[in-house]
Amino acid sequence: MDVRHPTHPDQIPTFDTSALRGHYLVEELFEPGAIHTVYSHQDRVVLGGAVPQPGSPLELETEPPLRSEYFCERRELGVLSLGQGAVTVDGSTYELAHRDCLYVGRGARSVSFDSSEGGRFYLVSTPAHTSYPTSVARHADTVPARLGDPATANVRELRKYVHPDGIRSCELVMGVTELAEGSIWNTMPCHTHDRRTECYLYFDLPPEHRVIHLLGQPHETRNMIVRNEQAVISPSWSVHSGAGTHRYGFVWAMAGENQAFTDMDHVAIDELR
């Protein structure tokens, strides 16, 4: 488990490219036959990737930084399936298709991942004060919000999975946004939300393409060049927006003080520096 400490916005101008990437970019989450996790002290979000090999399920183990008997002892967990696979939680198996979401409530003792056809799972976990039921939200059954405009190259569909009017949780708010062919911008005009950390995982981006992801306070932005299946941790003071060299999708997940999706401090394009 990689541990990332929080940063102050005044540090941003002092970071070179590799320092910026070391603090905010999660480059290697998905390795065949392994589970990788990152513990961020930004709202104590844990990000992870699980890639089970056919016939060899992977069990989510606790890690020393958690000081817990099992992973979900004090935590809830969101799982976003990138492909076809199954997650077994305390003996109940949930089959997931590409972009389906499983929420695992606090107290689940055993969580394991299995796939016979190259499935992979993105994990986001946050501290939990109580136990909400483990449940599934399927991409095919979720009515998306249709956002954006062709003129601004940001036509996209947003699906909320874990949120106050969907799967209930303690802190976690989670969903997927997918851009239409020919659209490249997400979250522009952009925003911050001082009450929450937000993490993006970009997916469905061809290997030769990249997303130019913007971060930092609105008046002092930086960029990182991001590959497919890499994640970005955005502290509460940071914008989180990007433009791809190709269409893509991204999993967004938030944790912190509140769960109100509309609690955003909007930033006008002409305020950005």
Return the DSSP state at 122: E
As given in the structure block, the two tokens for residue 29 are 């989450």
Return the DSSP state at 53: B
Given a contact cutoff of 8 angstroms between Cβ atoms, the answer to whether 157 and 145 are in contact is: yes
Alpha-carbon gap, residue 245 to 233, rounded angstroms:
21
Residue 227 — left, alpha, or beta (φ > 0 → left; ψ -120 to 50 → alpha)? beta
Stretch that binds ligand D54, among 35-43, 47-55, 133-141, 186-194 (CB under 6 A): 186-194
Scanning residues 67 to 96, which ones bind Zn ion (CB under 5 A)?
none
Contact pick of 120, 156, 210, 247 for ligand D54 (by CB under 6 A): 156
**Is 198 annotated among the ligand-binding residues?**
yes
**Is 36 annotated among the ligand-binding residues?**
no
**Is 219 annotated among the ligand-binding residues?**
no
As given in the structure block, the two tokens for residue 103 are 């929420």
Contact pick of 76, 100, 198, 229 for ligand D54 (by CB under 6 A): 198
As given in the structure block, the two tokens for residue 173 are 């708010």
- Does 187 contact ligand D54 by CB under 6 A? yes
Determine the distance from the C-alpha atom of residue 127 to the mean position of all C-alpha atoms in its chain, rounded to a whole number: 15
Residue labelled with tokens 């062919």: 181
106 binds, among ligand D54, Zn ion, none (CB under 5 to 8 A by kind): none
Residue labelled with tokens 């995982």: 201
158 binds, among ligand D54, Zn ion, none (CB under 5 to 8 A by kind): ligand D54
Query: What backbone torsions phi and psi does residue 123 show, to the nearest 5 degrees?
Result: -120, 135
Q: Is 100 helix (H, G, I), strand (E, B) or coil?
A: coil
Residue number with CB closer to ligand D54 (142 or 186): 186
- Does 157 contact ligand D54 by CB under 6 A? no
Residue labelled with tokens 């520096």: 273
Contact pick of 99, 120, 163, 240 for ligand D54 (by CB under 6 A): 240
- Give me the least distance between CB of 132 and ligand D54, in Å please: 21
DSSP run (H or E) holding 22: helix 17-24
Binding mask 146-185 for Zn ion (x = CB under 5 A): ----------------------------------------
Residue number with CB closer to ligand D54 (106 or 240): 240
| Residue 190 CB neighbours (<10 A) | 24
Binding mask 192-211 for Zn ion (x = CB under 5 A): ------x-------------
**Is 41 annotated among the ligand-binding residues?**
no
Annotated binding site: 191, 193, 198, 240
Binding site for ligand D54 (CB under 6 A): 156, 158, 177, 186-187, 193, 198, 240, 252, 264
